[in-house]
């Protein structure tokens, strides 16, 4: 629990339900075997294919901004290792649902196998899909929350459309260094956003069409 306590002490983990999820869903279950000794370090770790499992500080920050609730339907774009999808599944509870979209087939399978270490696949609380996350997932929209784990040059219009009214999205935006953007949908075509500077993510790949 050293990592979790570090994130609490630094002020990144605050909400009881999110802290509980971080304590239950072990990052060590989502890293490559060669990096097992590094899972408690507050740094990104490679999962192959030019992708990473995000820095715990960043994941905590994004989930606190997103503030998912019990029973929420969540879209997780760029699911990678599956760690964030599993954290989200724990937070939204048995009545919630997480749809995890990953572009790279090998990583979709890697994340899915990691999440199988918990009961979320069998209980259908998490569903993995290989696909273009920039387009979202029209068949399951609208969503209470959308988490995007890769940086977009602009916020994809399909993702904005697929948010429920009063829904939230967190997405890194920018090129070399990104802002973390919290978007709240206030009406059918109206949004509020807040930006937090100083993040670095791999790029979001895929067309909106």
* β-pair type (126-130, 143-148): unpaired
Q: Say if residue 192 is preceded by a cis peptide, omega within 30 of 0.
A: no
Residue 166 backbone zone (phi > 0: left; psi -120 to 50: alpha; other: beta)? left
Residue 54 annotated as catalytic = yes
Selecting among 15, 46, 54, 79, the annotated active-site residue is 54
Q: Can you tell me the distance from the alpha carbon of 208 to that of 186, in angstroms, rounded to the nearest whole number?
A: 22
Residues contacting 146, CB < 8 A, separation 6+:
74, 75, 77, 136, 159, 162, 163, 167, 168, 169, 170, 171
Place of tokens 């995007």: 148
Task: Say which DSSP state 46 is in.
Answer: E
Which residues are known to be catalytic? Answer: 54
């Amino acid at each position: 629990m050293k990592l979790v306590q570090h994130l609490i002490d630094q002020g990144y983990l605050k909400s009881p339900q999110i802290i509980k999820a971080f304590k239950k869903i072990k990052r060590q279950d989502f890293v490559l075997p060669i990096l097992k000794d590094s899972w408690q370090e507050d740094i990104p770790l490679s999962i192959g294919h030019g992708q990473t499992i995000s820095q715990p500080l960043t994941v905590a920050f994004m989930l606190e901004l997103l503030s998912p609730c019990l029973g929420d339907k969540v879209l997780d774009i760029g699911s990678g290792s599956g760690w964030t999808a599993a954290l989200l599944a724990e937070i939204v509870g048995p009545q919630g649902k997480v749809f995890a979209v990953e572009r790279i087939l090998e990583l979709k399978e890697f994340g899915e196998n990691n999440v199988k270490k918990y009961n979320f696949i069998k209980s259908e609380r998490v569903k993995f899909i290989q696909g273009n996350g920039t387009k979202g997932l029209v068949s399951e929209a609208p969503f209470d929350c959308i988490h995007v784990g890769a940086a977009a040059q602009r916020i994809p219009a399909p993702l904005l459309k697929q948010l429920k009214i009063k829904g939230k999205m967190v997405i890194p935006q920018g090129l070399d260094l990104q802002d973390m953007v919290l978007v709240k949908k206030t009406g059918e075509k109206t949004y509020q956003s807040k930006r937090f500077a100083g993040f670095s993510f791999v790029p979001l790949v895929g067309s909106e069409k």
